[in-house]
Amino acid sequence: MKILFLIFIASGFFLKPRAYAYTNFIGYGYAACLTCHYNAFGNGPLNDYGRALGANLIAGRLFIPDSVSDSKLSEYSGFFGKVNYKSTFFRPSLDYRGIMVTDNFGQGGSENRYYHMQLDGNVVLRMMQDKFIMSFSYGMLPEEEGFGSKMKSISREHYLMYAFSNKFRIYAGKMDVVFGVRVPDHILFARARTGIAQNDQSHGVVAHWYNESFELGVNYFVGDLSDDADVRLAGFSSMLEYNLASDFRVGASILSASHEFLSRTLAALHARVGFFKGASLVAEYGFLHDQEITDLNTGVTTKASDNYFFLQSMIKLKRGLHNLTTFERYTNVPEGSTENTAYRMTTGLQWFPLPRFEIRSEISAGRIFLENNVNKDSWTFLNQIHLWF
C-alpha cells in the first residue's frame, strides 16, 4: 500500500490542466462557467464571449501596438480571425499544451522530460439561437514522453445540449463528471486520486439549473463506453453552489459510483471568492471511500477512507500576468493500517503575453509522511506552454 501511495503521489506531477478559462477568474467578477463556456460546468471550448473576454481583459498586449484597441482584439478573437456574429452555426477550435518537467530540481541528478499533454480539435454547432448545441472534440494522447512521442487518438467529449429556458438545460453524451470546483491543475491530489482528472470523461446525462442565487448540476453517468464493460465506473454525482455575494460562492458535491471491482463514494465542500480585480481564493475539502476487490478468487476486498484539502490563490501582478500558489494535502487511510499523508506546495507565474498564448512556470515541493518514515522534500520545476485558436 505504501508503494502504491508513493507511485500515485509521484505520477501527479505529470498531469496538467485542460480547462481554457479558469475557476480562479471569479477574481475578475465571473463566477459562472457558463459565461465563457458552452459547458455549464467549464472545460471544453470557449464561446464567443469567452474568447473576447480573454483577448481584451485577461491577456496582455505584448508586441501589439497601441493603435490596436482592446475592442479590435475582441473582434478578431475567432478561429478564423474576425468573428462573424451574423453566422453563429459553426465554431471550430484547436488547443495544444506541452510541458517540460525537471525532477530533483536543485538537488543533483535532475532530469528534464517533455510531455505533449493535449492536442485537441473541437467543433461546436449552434442552432435555434443557442437553445440547441452540439459539441465534438477529438484529441491525441501521448503514449510516451518526448517531442517525437507516439500519439493515440481519443474522443475527449461529444455531447448535445438543449436549453429549455435560461435557467434549465440538459446535456447528453460524453463529458467531464460533475464534481467539485474545476481549477486549472488536474495534478491536484483532489483530481488525480479521485478519478475525475484530465482524461476521465464519462458518457451520461447532466441536468443544470441556474439563477442569480444558486447553481445545481445532477449527473447520471455510465462510464466511458470505449473502456471494457467491467471497469466502467457508473453512478451519479451532484454539485450545488450558492452565491453569498456576486464574487463569493460556497458549495458541496457528492458522487457515488462503482464497477465490477470497485465501489467509490466522494463528498466535498468547496468555496470560491474574488477580492480586488484579478485576485481570488479557491478551496476544497473532501472525503473518498473506496472498497476494492483485490482477489477475484476469494472475493477479498480492501477499504480505504481518504481525505484531501487544497487552497489555491491567484494574484494579478499586471495585465496578463498572475501569481498562482497552491497548498494541498492528501491523507490515505487504508483499513487496518496507519495513515500516510502527502503535502505539496506549488507556486509560480501564469502569463498570457498576448491572446491565444499562455506560459506557466512553477516550482513544486512535496513531502510524504509514512508510518515510520518521513521522505525528503522532492522538488520539481514545471514549464508549460498553451496555444489555442
Q: What is the rounded distance in angstroms from the CA atom of residue 243 to the CA atom of residue 239?
A: 14
| Distant-in-sequence, close-in-space partners of 338: CB < 8 Å, separation ≥ 6 | 371
Region of 213 (left: φ > 0; alpha: ψ -120 to 50; beta: rest) is: alpha
Q: What is the rounded distance in angstroms from the CA atom of residue 229 to the CA atom of residue 187?
A: 27
Place of cell 459547458: 39
**CA 49 from centroid of its chain's CA atoms:** 20
DSSP annotation of 57? I
Residues 239-263 have pLDDT tens digits of 999 999 989 999 999 999 999 889 9
Number of domains in the chain: 1
Say what the pLDDT of residue 139 is: 87
139, amino acid identity? G
- Closest C-alpha among 242, 382, 284, 263 to residue 324: 382
Q: Find out whether 346 and 325 touch, Cβ atoms under 8 Å.
A: yes
Q: What is the rounded distance in angstroms from the CA atom of residue 34 to the CA atom of residue 179?
A: 16
Each residue's pLDDT, cut to its tens digit, for the chain (389 residues) gives 444 344 344 444 444 444 446 888 999 988 888 889 999 998 889 999 999 999 999 999 999 999 999 999 999 999 988 998 878 899 999 999 889 999 888 777 778 888 888 889 999 999 999 999 999 999 877 655 555 556 678 888 999 999 999 999 999 999 999 999 987 676 788 888 888 888 889 999 999 999 989 999 999 999 999 889 988 999 999 999 999 998 999 999 999 999 988 999 999 999 999 988 899 999 999 999 998 876 666 666 788 889 999 999 999 999 999 999 999 999 988 777 778 899 999 999 999 999 999 999 999 999 988 777 777 888 999 999 999 99
- Environment class of residue 86 by beta-carbon count within 10 Å: exposed (0-12), middle (13-18) or buried (19+)? exposed
> Strand locations in 128-227, DSSP E?
132-142, 151-165, 168-175, 202-210, 214-223
Element (H, E) at 369: strand 357-369
Q: Where are the alpha helices (DSSP H) in 131-224?
A: 189-192
Q: Where are the alpha helices (DSSP H) in the chain?
A: 2-11, 48-53, 70-75, 189-192
Distance spanning both ends of the chain, measured CA to CA: 44
Say what the pLDDT of residue 6 is: 41
CATH of the domain at 112: 2.40.160.10
Q: Find out whether 284 and 309 touch, Cβ atoms under 8 Å.
A: yes
Neighbour count for residue 345 (Cβ, 10 Å): 16
Sign of CA dihedral 9, 15, 19, 24: positive
- Closest C-alpha among 106, 103, 104, 119 to residue 14: 103
Say what the pLDDT of residue 338 is: 77
Q: What is the rounded distance in angstroms from the CA atom of residue 187 to the CA atom of residue 198?
A: 9
- Cross-strand pairs, 221: 204, 235
251, amino acid identity? G
Say what the pLDDT of residue 8 is: 40
- Closest C-alpha among 211, 212, 266 to residue 239: 266
Say what the pLDDT of residue 115 is: 84
Cell of 84: 462573424
Cell of 333: 487511510
Residues 108-125 have pLDDT tens digits of 777 888 888 888 999 999
CA angle 83, 154, 228 (to 5 degrees): 145
Range of the domain at 312: 2-388
